[in-house]
Amino acid sequence: MSVDISIAVQAEGFDPGAEYRQLRRANCEDGATAMFVGNVRDFSPDDAGGKQSVSVLELEHYPGMAESALTDIAREAAQRWPLGRVRVIHRFGPLAAGDEIVFVGTTSAHRQASLDACAFIMDFLKSRAPFWKKEVGVGKDGKTQGSWVEARSSDEQALKKW
Amino acid sequence: MIKVLFFASLREQLDCDAVDVAADGLDTIDDLRNSLGARGEAWQKALADERLQVALTQQLSTSDATLQDGDEVAFFPPVTGG
């Protein structure tokens, strides 16, 4: 049976509860649902090992490629695991601390497939989907400043376990 | 024409989000990169960053990939979504 894949790249917020209900709607063959939600932190580590406050996170994306990259990652997961449904949402634009950024939901007959597929999709999304974060906050000097988030080598490392 | 896009910190460094480049004489993405680098010191410096990623027709690609007239190419820093 083919996997039901649904991808959204959007500025609007989303309701994780509503997404859960959609994953479960008329879906009695899947006994497991795994979900991940990523939210905006209100701080980022500074160079001195302390914390810098973040008031706005600006998410830039590559329209078109963002959707196709997420679709490719979801399809790859659907080939590796026996999944029922896959839902991925990624937001763009200015986001405030606490806002939801990303949602990944997977369903399967038994838990291991949905849990592994959910983690796999997040790991590949982190290193392969064209989104970039810019943190905007107020520095120690009281001035507003923005800085692009640097990619972490640990994210690239995370792909090796798959 | 090759449509070239720039994103995130690279877009800010170049102060440019897109350019159209004549496809003549550009066989590979490397050729395109060299041609863009000749636009000035800022371009040369920004595009010399080895960490930059490149997409050809919206798929991650490599510098030796072959270009065709009408292609869309994008250069950007390592992605940081999620």
pLDDT at B40: 94
Whether the Cβ atoms of residue A121 and residue A39 lie closer than 8 Å to each other: no
3-class state of residue B3 by DSSP: strand
Q: Locate tokens 């999304």: which residue?
A: A125
pLDDT at A53: 81
Whether the Cβ atoms of residue A135 and residue A149 lie closer than 8 Å to each other: yes
pLDDT at A1: 58
Closest CA to B47 of B24, B77, B17: B77
CA–CA min distance B55, chain A (Å): 9
Q: Does A100 touch chain B (CB under 8 A)?
A: no
Q: Both tokens of residue B26?
A: 């550009």
Average of pLDDT values for B8-18? 97
pLDDT at A124: 97
Closest CA to A73 of B63, B73, B79: B79
CA–CA min distance B9, chain A (Å): 7
pLDDT at A120: 98
Inspect the interface and report whether the beta carbons of A60 and B5 lie closer than 8 Å: no
3-class state of residue A94 by DSSP: strand
Whether the Cβ atoms of residue A7 and residue A102 lie closer than 8 Å to each other: no
Inspect the interface and report whether the beta carbons of B76 and A62 lie closer than 8 Å: yes
The model's pLDDT over B34-75, given as tens digits with 9 standing for 90+, comes to 999 999 999 999 999 999 999 999 999 999 999 999 999 999
Which of B9, B58, B79 is facing A131, going by the closest CB pair? Answer: B79
Strand partners, B59: B56
3-class state of residue A90 by DSSP: strand
Chain centroid offset of residue A122 CA: 6
Using a CB-CB cut-off of 8 Å, the residues of chain B touching A126 are 79-82
Closest CA to B68 of B18, B44, B34, B32: B32
Per run of 10 residues, the mean pLDDT along chain A (length 162 residues) is 92 98 96 98 79 88 98 98 98 96 98 98 97 88 87 90 92
Quote the ipTM score: 0.95
CA–CA min distance A64, chain B (Å): 7
Computed on alpha carbons and rounded to an integer, the radius of gyration of chain A in Å comes to: 17
